[in-house]
């Protein structure tokens, strides 16, 4: 976003200091809890992009409302989220399968701490509830591992497998 629009100001936020050292000059990073009351002025953003905040937010309606308040009229909210509930089209994820159990355990863990893992499934409804209009949902398959015969999905699957292998234990 910062590269094709060099005149815009981009702010990247995360609760942890995960930010990269190299970024375009119009990017700044802030360590911030997105669940806190937002201190940015109202109507101050043209576009807010959220990615991968499953298991991070305890009150999604309130969070989306903050987005609505801080995006100026005519602006955009984009939420890219993925489901941690693994699915298999070939029926291999049977109820006793370890991966199926992992998904269930993750869901239970999120419910116990009050920060759901199941947000991808509800974003469209909740975003509309916050007041946004023209809400569009696109769903994508995201293979885990390089099993797909489609070259693009195969490549995505390779990266996704790495992501799962590195993140699953946590």
Distance (Å, rounded) from C-alpha 1 to C-alpha 49?
Answer: 10
Q: Is 35 in the site for ligand SAM (CB under 6 A)?
A: yes
Distance (Å, rounded) from C-alpha 136 to C-alpha 147?
Answer: 29
Choose the stretch contacting ligand SAM; rule: CB under 6 A; options: 11-19, 68-76, 123-131, 140-148. Answer: 11-19
Please select the residue that binds ligand SAM; options are 7, 18, 96, 170, rule is CB under 6 A. 18
Q: Is 81 in the site for ligand SAM (CB under 6 A)?
A: no
Burial of residue 119 (number of CB atoms within 10 Å: 0-12, 13-18, 19+): buried
> Where in 92-131 is the site for ligand SAM (CB under 6 A)?
none
Tell me how far, at minimum, the Cβ of 29 lies from ligand SAM, in Å.
Answer: 12
Dihedral angle over CA of 10, 11, 17, 20, nearest 10: 0
Please select the residue that binds ligand SAM; options are 28, 40, 42, 52, rule is CB under 6 A. 52
* Residue carrying the six token digits 């469209």: 124
Please select the residue that binds ligand SAM; options are 4, 16, 22, 98, rule is CB under 6 A. 16
Tell me how far, at minimum, the Cβ of 32 lies from ligand SAM, in Å.
Answer: 6
User: How distant is the alpha carbon of residue 148 from its chain centre?
Assistant: 24
Q: Is 39 in the site for ligand SAM (CB under 6 A)?
A: no
């Amino acid at each position: 976003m910062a590269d094709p629009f060099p005149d815009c100001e981009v702010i990247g936020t995360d609760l942890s200091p995960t930010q990269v050292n190299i970024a375009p000059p119009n990017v700044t990073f802030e360590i911030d809890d997105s669940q806190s009351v937002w201190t940015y002025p109202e109507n101050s953003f043209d576009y807010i992009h959220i990615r991968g905040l499953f298991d991070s937010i305890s009150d999604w309606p309130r969070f989306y409302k903050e987005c609505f308040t801080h995006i100026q009229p005519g602006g955009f909210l984009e939420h890219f989220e993925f489901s941690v509930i693994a699915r298999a089209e070939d029926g291999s994820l049977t109820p006793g399968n370890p991966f199926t159990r992992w998904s269930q355990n993750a869901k239970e863990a999120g419910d116990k701490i009050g920060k759901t893992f199941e947000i991808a499934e509800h974003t469209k409804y909740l975003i509309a509830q916050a007041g946004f209009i023209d809400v569009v949902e696109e769903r994508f398959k995201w293979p885990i591992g390089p099993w797909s015969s489609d070259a693009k999905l195969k490549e995505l699957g390779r990266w996704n497998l790495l992501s799962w292998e590195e993140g699953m234990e946590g």
